[in-house]
């Protein structure tokens, strides 16, 4: 059965498998991309693999940072990921609770201070991020409960609210 474009049978089967073996809840994600040195092209491209194939995406810096602005910039993709992750979590939790959504729009925004990125100081690059949700359901009284659960369960929110160890490895060709 699908509610809010969420296949509850598939999602439920995954939850049941994870209940029996928590290691099933661990999923690895990876993006492999490459910088383009050709003039007139987007600066970075990657192929994202998913269950039904591969989707190619490209990023380009805005002109004031040396790009052409021909594609979304990396920060826009970060915000897209946050908005999509929160929307997926929100819609899934609503479906789990039997709440049929009539509308769900999610915006993610931040203000980036590029001073550090361009070598002009040590100010934090981003001091805050904001998610705005516009949702409608017949049982609108449950929307704040769903929002709170999404805030607690969304992996994208977790990434912004908890320190994550970062490892960087540089290899020569």
Domains and CATH numbers, the chain: 31-72 (no CATH), 73-173 (3.30.300.20)
Distance, CA of 159 to CA of 43 (rounded, Å): 26
* pLDDT per residue as tens digits for the range 72-92: 999 999 999 999 999 999 999
Say what the pTM is: 0.94
**Residue range 29-50: mean pLDDT, rounded:** 97
The predicted structure's pLDDT at residue 140:
86
Average pLDDT over residues 90-109: 98
Give pLDDT, residue 173: 72
H helix intervals, the chain: 8-20, 74-96, 143-153, 155-161
């Amino acid at each position: 059965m699908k509610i809010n474009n969420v296949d509850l049978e598939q999602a439920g089967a995954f939850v049941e498998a994870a209940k029996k073996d928590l290691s099933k809840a661990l999923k690895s994600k990876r993006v492999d991309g490459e910088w383009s040195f050709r003039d007139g092209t987007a600066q970075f491209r990657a192929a994202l693999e998913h269950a039904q194939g591969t989707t190619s995406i490209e990023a380009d810096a805005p002109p004031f940072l040396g790009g052409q602005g021909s594609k979304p910039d990396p920060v826009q993709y970060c915000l897209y990921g946050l908005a999509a992750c929160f929307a997926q979590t929100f819609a899934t939790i609503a479906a789990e609770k039997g709440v049929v959504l009539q509308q769900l729009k999610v915006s993610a925004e931040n203000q980036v201070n590029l001073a550090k990125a361009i070598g002009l100081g040590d100010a934090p690059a981003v001091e805050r991020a904001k998610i705005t949700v516009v949702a409608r359901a017949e049982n609108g009284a449950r929307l704040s409960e769903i929002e709170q659960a999404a805030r607690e369960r969304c992996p994208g929110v977790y990434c912004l609210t908890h320190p994550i160890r970062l490892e960087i490895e540089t290899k020569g060709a």
